[in-house]
Chains A and B, each alone.
Chain A
Amino acid sequence: EVQLVESGGTLVQPGGSLRLSCAASGFTLSNFWMHWVRQIPGRGLFWLSRISDDGNTRSYADSVKGRFTISRDNAKNMVFLEMNSLKAEDTGVYYCARDNPDYWGHGTLVTVSS
């Protein structure tokens, strides 16, 4: 069974940093591109970033480019999102998703507030 489990969400102050993790199981992570998507509770979905199966190709939404970094460790079946210079508008549930995307995790909540 494909599973994606996000972790690392917490309350962080504006200007702070945070690293989110996504643990993948039930499939061979090295065969799939992976995404991060954000959602403010009660609002729409916002695509953040995508990384190729081998980690060599990455893309970002304009609003997070230069602040967020996506990475992966295929040997450990993990995908990461490093977030710096966090702003209040970065608050939301962060989802990890596979491929098209097809499978999604249940998300981890990040709150940026003083």
Chain B
Amino acid sequence: QTVVTQEPSLTVSPGGTVTLTCASSTGAVTNDHYPNWFQQKPGQAPWALIYSASRPHSWTPARFSGSLLGGRAALTLSDVQPDDEADYYCLLYYGAPLVGIFGGGTKLTVL
């Protein structure tokens, strides 16, 4: 059974930079996994940030960037704002037809 792993929690200071990662139990994450990143705040639906590893949606603030880093998908938040405090989820796709698997989520605290 394939598992997608994220850091359970991270803490960052306002104005700082933090990188969240997303690993696959099958090996290196590549563009063929079409990595997606989402932000979710309590009581709200997920909000899409990044697709295909590094492509921002039209509404994604420039402070959010996606990449492939060291065999993982990565989401980097620069100049972190208090409003960025949220849960962040990655989604990877596998096989054909594609089946999606979410990571367990990272709870980001801005302190």
Q: Which A residues are within 8 Å of any B CB, using their own CB?
A: 35, 37, 44-47, 50, 52, 57-62, 95, 97, 100-107
Contact = CB atoms under 8 A, between A and B. Distances in A.
A104 B100 contact: no
B100 A47 contact: yes
B111 interface: no
B91 interface: yes
Contacts of A50: 97-100
Interface stretch (B10-18, B45-53, B62-70, B72-80): B45-53
A95 B46 contact: yes
Given A60-B99, A102-B51, A107-B45, 6 more contacts: A35-B100, A37-B46, A44-B105, A45-B40, A47-B101, A100-B52
Given A47-B91, A95-B46, A101-B36, A57 B97 contact: yes
Interface in B28-63: 34, 36, 38, 40, 45-48, 51-52, 57
Contacts of B104: 44
A52 B96 CA distance: 12
A58 B105 CA distance: 26
A44 B102 contact: yes
Q: What size tier do the contact residues of chain B reach?
A: 20 to 34
A60 B38 CA distance: 20
B48 A106 contact: no
Contact of A104 (B46, B52, B95): B46
Contacts of B51: 100, 102
Contacts of B46: 37, 45, 95, 97, 104
A47 B99 contact: yes
A23 to B, nearest CB: 15
Contacts of B105: 44-45
A67 B97 CA distance: 18
B102 A45 contact: yes
